[in-house]
Amino acid sequence: MKYIVQILFFLATLTAVHPVASQNNVIDEIVWVVGDEAILKSEVEEYRKEILMQNQRIEGDPYCFIPEQLAVRKLFLDQAKLDSIEVQDVTVNRQLEYLINEYIASTGSVERLEEYYGKKIAGIREDLREQIREQQLVEGVQQKHFGNIQLTPSEIRKYYNSLPQDSLPFIQTTMEVQIITVEPKIPLEEIDKVKARLREYTDQVVSGEREFSTLALLHSEDDASAMKGGELGFMNRSQLVPEFTSVAFALNDPKKVSNVVESEYGFHIIQLIERRGDMGNFRHILLKPRVPQESLDTALVRLDSIRSGIMQQKITFDEAATYLSSDKDTRNNKGIMVNNVARSANGGTPRFALNELNQDIAKIAGEMQQGEISEPFIMLNDKGRQVAAMIRITARNEGHRANINNDYQIIKQMAENARQQQLVDEWLLKKIEQTYVRIDPAWQGCEMKYKGWLK
């Protein structure tokens, strides 16, 4: 096998050029060979585009960093075969649809995404599917061999003591917040106006006068989907609110438009684009009834009355949040807000950094001390609706360098991550030593992270 690969490498390099030289008339070239797997220059370019699309950091020269990353992936994929690691198509497809939707949103349209990659959406989809499948195989190997790191408290403390103080992460100021909201009453005539507009749009679509996507772009108040003609991208039932789901997944004719649907976000009309098993892609137009200032003022007065009752100790904040608040996400938890910000170190806990709080809440909370109750204020909630709100800061932890007494779980995770990386590095060095590697001379002038690539 070694000699066959060398012959292939020689034939490919007959037309090869240096990566920074002219690329005229070069279709592709083999730049690395790892075991019996070749790494093509086109793979390097595709990987570079992926890194840029995902706003990831490239360490140094991309034509040094990326080939080594791809070579490492080849080693993990080889181990995945030996370990008989398998991935489920359903998980690959779910992540694929999520990424495709994110990429379309990032570039602005399918056409721009195709232009960026230089290929049709079907080709992009297939390439991404394979990349996702491979990444899940890599993660499967890592979980099997290095996923069960458990350190003792003494090992964690030893790791902490070995770190220079200025290398410890700075922990932002965090706070725990309780909230009470009062929803302003929307006059019936405002709701009727919104429904009438949506029915008018439906008539225009059904008659062929206007395209649904055009109307969504011009009129929908869901800014994210409006930019894409109302398209939501493929989602399953659990990703949509129940009222929307029950109507959307009952549609079976892409030429039809649903009846008006009310949800916590406002009022919608929906059009089916495509169904794939349990996944569906829909367009929608969202309109929100206008809230009169008089209704907002009334809600503020109501909330001010509740605040007076709390201050006079006629009712506790916990009781008011449980029995009087309109916020169904928190009232069953005594008004305690839970951090659902993706990738947050505080995710799933009541702790929030200021930049993780609702923008309107953060403006008020930033100036408050522990135990303090705010004056009522108007905020735009996460459903995009105006409500009157009042908050209480139940805990406030000022920003500081991580320490083992106050931030044990953070230090523990750092120690376990460091140990896991050490094991991965040791495993890779052995794997590199045992694997045939050939690098095109034009691509050898690099400082590699791992030693031993060049035999």
Integer Cα distance of 274 and 286 in angstroms: 20
Report the percentage of the chain scoring pLDDT > 90: 73
Angle at CA of residue 391, ends 388 and 393, nearest 5°: 170
pLDDT bin (cut points 50, 70, 90) of residue 455 is: confident
For the chain, helix (H) and strand (E) counts, in that order, are: 15, 12
The pLDDT value given to residue 27:
64
The residue assigned the tokens 């996944």 is 279
The residue assigned the tokens 């994210």 is 224
pLDDT in tens, 355-380: 999 999 999 999 999 999 999 999 99
pLDDT bin (cut points 50, 70, 90) of residue 342 is: low
- Nearest C-alpha neighbor of 346 from the set 179, 175, 148, 180: 175
Looking from the CA of 200 toward its CB, the CA atoms found within 13 Å total 9
Phi, psi angle pair for 111, to nearest 5° = -60, -40
DSSP string, 244-298: HHHHHTT---TT--PPPEEETTEEEEEEEEEEETTEEEEEEEEE-----HHHHHH
Q: In this structure, are residues 435 and 75 in contact, taking their beta carbons and an 8 Å threshold? A: yes
Residues 6 or more apart whose Cβ sits within 8 Å of residue 34 = 71, 74, 75, 435, 436, 437
3 has a pLDDT exceeding 90: no
Q: In this structure, are residues 32 and 71 in contact, taking their beta carbons and an 8 Å threshold? A: yes
pLDDT in tens, 130-173: 999 999 999 999 999 998 899 999 999 999 999 998 899 998 89
- Nearest C-alpha neighbor of 351 from the set 406, 415, 413, 418: 406
Distances from the Cα of 124 to the Cα of 111, 119, 237, 266, angstroms:
12, 7, 25, 35
Distances from the Cα of 332 to the Cα of 111, 302, 326, 328, angstroms:
46, 20, 11, 7
Q: Is the dihedral of CA 64, 69, 74, 78 positive or negative?
A: positive
Phi, psi angle pair for 51, to nearest 5° = -60, -45
pLDDT in tens, 11-64: 343 333 334 333 444 468 999 999 999 999 999 998 898 888 887 878 789 999
175 has a pLDDT exceeding 70: yes
Integer Cα distance of 303 and 297 in angstroms: 10
Q: In this structure, are residues 140 and 85 in contact, taking their beta carbons and an 8 Å threshold? A: yes
Residues 6 or more apart whose Cβ sits within 8 Å of residue 13 = 29, 30, 440
The DSSP symbol for 336 reads B
Beta-strand ranges (E) seen in 88-208 are 170-171, 174-182
The residue assigned the tokens 């005539």 is 189
Integer Cα distance of 245 and 229 in angstroms: 19
Q: In this structure, are residues 253 and 282 in contact, taking their beta carbons and an 8 Å threshold? A: no
DSSP string, 340-389: --TT-TTTTSSEEEGGGS-HHHHHHHTT--TT-BPPPEEEE-TTS-EEEE
pTM over 0.75: no
Integer Cα distance of 14 and 8 in angstroms: 10
**For the chain, what is the mean pLDDT?**
89
Delineate the domains of the chain, giving CATH numbers in brackets: 2-149+416-443 (1.10.4030.10), 172-185+292-401 (3.10.50.40), 188-287 (3.10.50.40)
304 has a pLDDT exceeding 90: yes
Residues 6 or more apart whose Cβ sits within 8 Å of residue 214 = 229
Report the percentage of the chain scoring pLDDT > 70: 93
- Nearest C-alpha neighbor of 450 from the set 31, 77, 56, 69: 69
DSSP string, 70-87: HHHHHHHHHHHHHHT---
The residue assigned the tokens 């990566």 is 19
The pLDDT value given to residue 19:
41
Integer Cα distance of 87 and 436 in angstroms: 27
The SS3 call for residue 400 is strand
pLDDT in tens, 315-326: 999 999 999 999
Q: Which two tokens stand for residue 20?
A: 């920074």
- Nearest C-alpha neighbor of 389 from the set 361, 428, 369: 361
pLDDT bin (cut points 50, 70, 90) of residue 343 is: low
- Nearest C-alpha neighbor of 387 from the set 329, 318, 338, 319: 329
pLDDT in tens, 74-111: 999 999 999 999 999 988 988 998 888 888 878 888 89
The pLDDT value given to residue 198:
97
Phi, psi angle pair for 440, to nearest 5° = -55, 135
Please count the other Cβ atoms lying within 10 Å of the Cβ belonging to residue 63.
20
Please count the other Cβ atoms lying within 10 Å of the Cβ belonging to residue 406.
12
